[in-house]
Structure 1
């Protein structure tokens, strides 16, 4: 029986949490890399703050850099950090039967105990954010990340087997086990399982396949999905598989899904290999949609699709190239607190 219910991300937000990059892989190897990371995180925060107050969690060592980039655009909270992917290290906010907020702590372990990841400090951030919001923290019985799930607010979830059934996260767990926990903590009645995420995200520095760069619900019964249209890219086949799965699915209300393909950027590769640039990884918050841009000819195409999918909201594009070079996008670095 469900104890809690996760609202759709399109509902009103009280606040957005982010974390400022301060060390490791996210900062990169050079001073120029580090400044590029700080600038991009700050650009996203400023875009979000046009619509919703932002609290930036900052490692004490990075406070001066954060304030230099953001000034009074955000509120600051000092906590020790390993990395800066708030969607994953922070809690997922839900409501109980009385409408009060609670915070689900997914037992973050570095995206399945990845060899390159550090998570001793980040594993405490869900509890810290719950405390900042004066909400009850609920310890989940599984390991998961916020980027690994997407709900429609009416009982349906999108997820990938490569994440929740990853032996590094939930060894010996079955789909039934995972679905039972999502039902309890998020009020999910039906999980639509995709087999995996995008190619780059399944490589060394990826998450093993987060759903939030693959597909999302802009509204109940409607799914936006990443449509790689160039057969040279290995994600061409993955997009076809995703579409086939979604075409065959129904949601918790028994509806067939309306599918809207969002063309992938024309850019296929960077110096590391095939890119996983995706316009799916956007943040919807109050009157705005904070969208990824890549200085690509499909940026405008995607922005128009998002504007149509979220009528009445302003689409603000932010260059996300430096985010994706580090393993994620705008949705990955933000986490919403639903309005009570």
Structure 2
């Protein structure tokens, strides 16, 4: 470690259920892969934005001022709270804010913002514009005086789960892929996670993958911390399904994990929806891709009888939080779901007092 490097002993990656200041959404446009289906995806994004605004502010990243006007038209048809809506401007390749958004940590209880490199999930898709969004937002005052810190490490927010107490959950298929940080082995990745995120231990899953997902098994499609002692995970109960061997092996790994106390985790099995097929390809419909908000959990649903089961099980996992269903069938057509589209920031990071959050940035 060199002078000026962060101290892992003083850093902490907060859990998603901790108090939030706002959620970022990067809105689709005709320059993204969403272009052929904008008519169906715009209402889905508007529903997500309006739902978030019931609980906390939402930052919408638009391509240009004309895009803001277009988005505003969609939002007028929803129950969006205008006092909790803020637009920022940045060109974008795509919309997956979970992966191109900044990651917030606390060091000695002071917020810091980390700008990890986003390379399009290992070079699968163009990402030069997305990789610059965090810097663009910072230049517009979105993060106040908190300057994003470049890390030199390729990392997507959807690839890590934090319990808020120093434990990270991830998958080896993603973090050890040679297309992200080819110079880092497992020990090197753990060292960087400790250095930048304050990880005191890393729990690795060697199994788990969803068809239609090109992130190399992001953990937020498979298994999620609901509290420091609880993990919700995708369970496949159909031996004839092609996912069964991998997800059964992942389940065994989760059963073997231990908390720092030595106790096993409380595991909540999320149901397995019927296959969603488009153009002969199975889409990654997963209930694990939920979004935790202040006072609520947004649950992706797929018009399946298993939706109700997922709702009941997450209700038990998040007592005191309202479960809000979001139809994500239009979203999974591009390989991700609800959580993948969003990134949360603590209030201490943001440059505008919450009670004064404007509807648009000042010119």
Query: Does TM, scored on the shorter chain, surpass 0.5?
Result: yes
**Does residue 194 of structure 2 align to residue 183 of structure 1?**
yes
SS of aligned partner of 2:22: strand
Shift >6 Å, 4+ stretches: none
Q: Which runs of 5+ in 1 are unaligned?
A: none
Structure 2: how far apart are the matches of 1:278 and 1:108? 23
Which residue is equivalent to 1:316?
324
1:44-99 Cα distance to aligned partner (Å, 9 max, x none): 111111111101011115323211112446211111111111111110111111x2
Which residue is equivalent to 1:39?
43
Which residue is equivalent to 1:127?
135
1:149-197 Cα distance to aligned partner (Å, 9 max, x none): 1111111111111111111111131111111111112121111111254
Structure 1: how far apart are the matches of 2:169 and 2:269? 16
Which residue is equivalent to 1:8?
15
TM-score normalised by L of structure 1: 0.92
Which residue is equivalent to 2:75?
70
**CA RMSD, aligned part only?**
1.7
* 1:307 to partner: Cα distance: 0.9
**Does residue 210 of structure 2 align to residue 199 of structure 1?**
yes
Structure 2: how far apart are the matches of 1:299 and 1:22? 29
Identify the match of residue 232 of structure 2 among 224, 240, 249: 224
**Does residue 98 of structure 2 align to residue 90 of structure 1?**
no
Q: Which runs of 5+ in 2 are unaligned?
A: 1-6, 77-81, 349-363
Question: Which segment drifts farther, 250-259 or 308-317?
Answer: 250-259
SS of aligned partner of 1:218: strand
* 1:24 to partner: Cα distance: 4.6
* 1:137 to partner: Cα distance: 1.4
Identify the match of residue 173 of structure 2 among 141, 144, 162: 162
User: How many correspondences in the alignment?
Assistant: 331
Identify the match of residue 17 of structure 1 among 14, 24, 37: 24
**Higher alpha-carbon Rg:** 2
Which residue is equivalent to 1:137?
148
SS of aligned partner of 2:190: helix
TM-score normalised by L of structure 2: 0.87
Which residue is equivalent to 2:335?
327
SS of aligned partner of 2:48: helix
